[in-house]
Amino acid sequence: MIILKIGGSIITNKDSIEPEVDYDNLNRISGEIAEAYNNESLDIADGLIIVHGAGSFGHPPAKKYKIGEPFTNEEYPLKRKGFSEIVLSMKKLNLCVCESLLKQGIPVVPIQTSAVVKAYDKRINDFDLKMIKTYLKEGYVPVLYGDVVIDDKLKMSILSGDQIIEYVASFLASDRVVLGTDVDGVYDKNPKIHEDAKLIEKVSSLDDITQLESTVNVDVTGGMIGKVKELLTLADNGVDSEIINANKPGIISKCLQGEKVKGTKITKKQ
């Protein structure tokens, strides 16, 4: 089974204040996934789960309503409104993603994360995987996404797509985990700020990122560092993963079909 994560930075215009789908990228990527999915010599059709990020559909309202921060009882009604706004916004993005994939013939089934997951202090503590397993068995491609969820400690918190893949890949013992983002992989420092940043081909510990302090939190879910932390936990649970550049045409298709592409592998320390 393969779990593919598509970053919010790829399928939305992330810097836009208003939610905005990047249809050029989304439709191209759907085509690339379909190319691999329809390759009968691969077993990808035996099990594929897609997880996508939130980008401009989730991060601006999450910031606006300060989701994840403590609040008083008086503030709860406003917070609930923020929760609903994010749930609906993410459903819209998920529908766009699923429609694009279905147009390419992929039998998708959207799974609303906030309807099946509960957290405690920002970490998943209850995730009903039963229906996902059933859909996989019946040949569907479940599509999950980063979302706002009920949190037993904080009342509500943001759950990143990266944490979802860590949990799902660990529990379903995924064979491969691929994350498509907007850079070639993990660098020794933020490549968007530092021209001389060097790509790290293999990460087995946070110490491998020598200039960690420049790897700033670019969003509420922790940006690249958040991603690497989740993937190191996943590697500890026995599942390796790879981060690749989904902005470059052809990379996702090649990677899903088992060809070697530029990127970073996250593996357990030997």
Positions touching ligand ADP (CB under 6 A) are 7-10, 53, 181-183, 186-187, 189-192, 209, 215, 218-219, 223-224
Tokens of 122: 């920002």
Q: Is 200 helix (H, G, I), strand (E, B) or coil?
A: coil
Q: Which is nearer to ligand ADP, 39 or 204 (CB)?
A: 204
Please name the residues in contact with 254: beta carbons below 8 A apart, sequence gap of 6 or more. Answer: 261
Instruction: Give the residue at shortest CB distance from ligand ADP.
Output: 7
Q: How far is the CB of 191 from ligand ADP (least distance, A)?
A: 5
Task: Report yes or no: 126 and 118 within 8 Å, Cβ to Cβ.
Answer: yes
Q: How far is the CB of 105 from ligand ADP (least distance, A)?
A: 25
Q: How far is the CB of 231 from ligand ADP (least distance, A)?
A: 12
Q: How many CA atoms lie within 13 A of 178 on its CB side?
A: 27
Q: Which is nearer to ligand ADP, 117 or 246 (CB)?
A: 246
Q: Which is nearer to ligand ADP, 136 or 157 (CB)?
A: 157
Q: How far is the CB of 210 from ligand ADP (least distance, A)?
A: 10
Q: Which is nearer to ligand ADP, 26 or 136 (CB)?
A: 26
Q: How far is the CB of 121 from ligand ADP (least distance, A)?
A: 21
Q: How far is the CB of 13 from ligand ADP (least distance, A)?
A: 12
Can you tell me which residue has the tokens 């799974």? 111
Q: Which is nearer to ligand ADP, 100 or 215 (CB)?
A: 215
Please name the residues in contact with 223: beta carbons below 8 A apart, sequence gap of 6 or more. Answer: 215, 216, 217
* Residue 222 per-residue DSSP state: -
Q: What is the DSSP string of 98-154?
A: HHHHHHTT--EEE--HHHHEEEETTEEEEE--HHHHHHHHTT-EEEEE-EEEEETTT
Q: What is the DSSP string of 30-89?
A: HHHHHHHHT-TTSSGGG-EEEEE--GGGTHHHHHHTTTTS---GGGHHHHHHHHHHHHHH
Q: Which is nearer to ligand ADP, 133 or 194 (CB)?
A: 194
